Amino acid sequence: MFELVIHGGAVITPDGPVRRDLAISDGVIRELPASGEPPAGGSVIDAGGKYILPGLVDAHVHIPGYMLSTRLDDFHSASIAAAVGGVTTVMLMPTDDPRTITPAYFERKRRIGERESFVDFAIQALIGPRTERCEIEAMAAQGAISFELFLAYGGNPGFIIGHDDYELHRLMQIVGEAGGIVGVTPHSASLIAKLTQVQKQLEATRPYREIIEKEIVLPKVQMFATTRPTLSEALGIVRACTVAAETQTRIHLRALSSQRSIDIVDRFRDLLPLSSEVMSHHLVFCEEEACELGPYGIIVPPIRSKPERDALRQAVRTGGIDMVVSDHSPVLREDKERGWASIWQTPPGMPGLQTLLPSMLALVDDGHLSLGDVVRACAEQPARAFGLYPHKGCLLPGSDADLVILDPGRSMLIDDSAQHSKAQYTTLKGRLLKSRIEKVFLRGRLIVDEEIVVSGPSGKFVRAA
């Protein structure tokens, strides 16, 4: 007899739905018998007419504070947001306190997570010109899921590589020799700095509403976007891929936002082991819609034009981009509001953990993606790329029983009041989805039922196999 049986549902795989029951014991899927008479179980859940998805694996998450006293998201609030949104494994970017720059900080973050997190989590390390070989090797032994390298914005200023190709090569070589993955935030630091200086000078000279370029008023969001063009992203990708090909280090390219970037990555796929991601915001919104959001539409890289958005959607469908991430950056409303006076005063970023799956469901509703695409890009591929598969990212015998039951017969309205992030807003506000997240399980344990958290923190630290 199994501890839990989920009966009569359609299990969603990257290739589509399959009618299977899930027989679960000790937090692990033991069997997937064909739907018929359900196997004996201590608890049987009728999932007839519903979809069963693996819990999402979000490979790019920022939690600005890890103690409960912080004004920004902490493990408690962010992991509840993840759970309610169907994300059962998060990978923590290293730029947030305690910054994961040493083995001691790594251990501190792990202990806080094991005490406070409602979902499983992996930890990414931060490397830069100050990082020594011994620190990389130690954090690799501790289970760092990746080593994050910033060519431009992000991270501590002292950890940004900029145009130091010696350090870029040195760090990639050390991580490669340690068997690790380098996560690369691309872009050109010098190009961004110069373009930002130019835009700020223009704004200081005349109010932004009077800035005329080819008889078109340049809105605030577009002013910010011009400082981070697709050329900047492309230059960073070429540098990173060239050095990684030389050292044969596995790399993961963060936040692709253009067709140019997709094309460059495609040229390097046969030369080195690599993977890439796109943020869900870049699939949902286009530049025109971001401008309507004002400072709430400011993220990095900027949201691009409709043709670029269409190219990104196509790349997710075809595998030209490996995975979709939230880049959860929960900037508070009060901080975003400063951007109405000056766009340079608002921190870039959007909350996205709780709305990663709803964003994908909106794209499914509109015919841009299939549920199979969602499972592949938001569960299987991130788990594969970072060595968590098949324990995470799929519903197979031996996999952790992390799963989401989706009811296609009930709609779900996205609203600010339901958000668990301390940001307390979402740019998806007002979206009506055709399907509803009904239940979420973590290792066979029900953690969310009808958007209500029904268990305490039970998240575990996970590392590559």
3-state SS record for 323-349: EEECCECCCCHHHHHHHHCCHHHCCCC
Report if residue 231 sits inside a domain: yes
DSSP-derived letter for residue 378 is I
pLDDT score recorded for residue 56: 98
Biggest CA pair distance of the chain: 75
Could you read off the pLDDT of 202-228 as tens digits, one per residue? 777 765 555 444 444 567 788 899 999
- Structural domain that includes position 80: 55-387
* 426 found inside a domain: no
CA distance 358 to 372: 15
Number of domains in the chain: 1
pLDDT tens-place string over residues 150-197: 999 876 778 899 889 999 999 999 999 999 999 999 999 999 999 999
Count Cβ neighbours within 10 Å for each residue of 346-369 and write b for 16 or more, e otherwise.
bbbbbbbbbbbbbbbbbbbeeebb
The reply to whether 393 falls in a domain is no
pLDDT of amino acid 218: 63
Tell me which residue has tokens 């094991």.
114
- CB count in 10 Å sphere of residue 237: 28
**Is 28 part of a structural domain of the chain?**
no
Residue 358 within a domain: yes
Check which CATH number belongs to the domain holding 371 and give it.
Answer: 3.20.20.140
Q: Is residue 445 part of a domain?
A: no
Whole-model pTM: value is: 0.95
Is 325 part of any domain?
yes
| Predicted local confidence at residue 214, as pLDDT | 45
Residue 69: band (very low, low, confident or very high) from pLDDT cuts 50, 70, 90: low
Does residue 48 fall inside a structural domain? no
DSSP string, 230-267: HHHHHHHHHHHHHHHHHHT-EEEE----SHHHHHHHHH
pLDDT, average across residues 399-415 = 97
> For residue 385, which amino acid is it?
A
